[in-house]
Amino acid sequence: MIRRTFLTAGLAGMLALLAAPLGAHAQDNWPTKPVKIVVPFAPGGTSDILARTLAEKLQASLKQTIVIENKAGAGGVIGADSVAKSAPDGYTFLLGTIASHAINPALQPKMPYDAAKDFAPVMLLGSISNVLLVGANQPYKTVADLIAAAKSKPGTIAFGSAGTGSSQHMSGEAFKLLAGAELTHVPYRGSAPAIQDLISGQIPVSFETATVALPHIQSGKVRALAVTSATRSRVLPDVPTMQEAGVAGFDVASWQAIYAPAGTPPAIVQKMNQTLAAIIATPDIKTRMEGLGLEYQPNSPEQFAEFGRKELAKWAKIVKDGNVKP
């Protein structure tokens, strides 16, 4: 019995020693089969275009097929949940956003995943500022004008957004909270109908991404009062930030990022981060990302993880203090 026990233990130890280098070898050779990136939104949007833009270069760099899979629904939650429950082997990634990993976790009372624990942050790909817009025929020329009007008649001024829980919606909620101006939210099924109603005068105010808003601002159909990010937008350099316009502490930007399931080997996470950084640094990809309105700063998985923690805390506070309901 004793001899058999020692033999069994010895065999287990030998297997463990053999498995360790094999596992490390597998990580060194990653990837050895196609890699999937889940986009939790419908084809054609910013997230989808970004994923497909990066996939072209990833295939060449990693020498493997990159498969883009769209799993839309629930503000990015359905697609994100599928990745959270995937094997952490380095063959499934998520193109996550502020909606899937900051706003919805703060806004929704029941989430199928833990945004902080069920994912391995890989890289923050970039951020897009939203912009406070008013119709061309509206009387508001500045943010101060709008705040004064909203305070004089609380709740009578409506603002449109791309939908409940979107970054545009939450930009409006942050504005209400930080400016002390009571506006009424009107959610739309996407940016296109919201901005069309703004142009036609059905709603007086809207928040929209700078990328979507830019052609309408240039045509004179809408007027930009301020961008929501802490610094001015590259695509709207002449438009002041909300902080410059007098709303202290305002800093809201929609963002795009790459995640892996929690437990993905750190070596694979690091390799994906470094590969993406090299791709984004190439002139053609940099130009294409800037065309999408994305502003990128190099970041490590650890730096991105810290950013994610701050975003979760910020939106949880805004939702609580503003009594925002889903």
Cα–Cα distance for residue pair 269/85, rounded to 1 Å: 17
Q: Is residue 249 part of a domain?
A: no
Please tell me whether the overall predicted TM-score, pTM, comes out greater than 0.75 for this model: yes
Looking at the structure, do residues 149 and 293 belong to the same domain, yes or no? no
Q: Is residue 107 part of a domain?
A: yes
pLDDT tens per residue across span 45-91: 789 999 999 999 999 999 999 999 999 888 889 999 999 999 999 99
On the question of pLDDT at 197 being above 60, the answer is: yes
Looking at the structure, do residues 296 and 158 belong to the same domain, yes or no? no
User: What φ, ψ does residue 183 adopt, rounded to 5°?
Assistant: -110, 160
Domain count, the chain: 2
Q: Is residue 15 part of a domain?
A: no
pLDDT tens per residue across span 239-278: 999 999 999 999 999 999 999 999 999 999 999 999 999 9
Looking at the structure, do residues 145 and 102 belong to the same domain, yes or no? no
CATH number of the domain at 133, please.
Answer: 3.40.190.10
Note down the domain range covering 97: 35-128+255-321
pLDDT category, 214, cuts 50, 70, 90?
Answer: very high
Cα–Cα distance for residue pair 133/207, rounded to 1 Å: 6
* Mean pLDDT to the nearest integer, 148-161: 96
Cα–Cα distance for residue pair 169/160, rounded to 1 Å: 8
Looking at the structure, do residues 122 and 137 belong to the same domain, yes or no? no
CATH number of the domain at 311, please.
Answer: 3.40.190.150
Last residue of a domain, one of 177, 210, 227: 227
Give exposure, 47-66, as e/b (b: 16+ Cβ within 10 Å): bbbbbebbbebbeebbebeb
Looking at the structure, do residues 121 and 270 belong to the same domain, yes or no? yes
**pLDDT given for residue 24 in this prediction:** 53
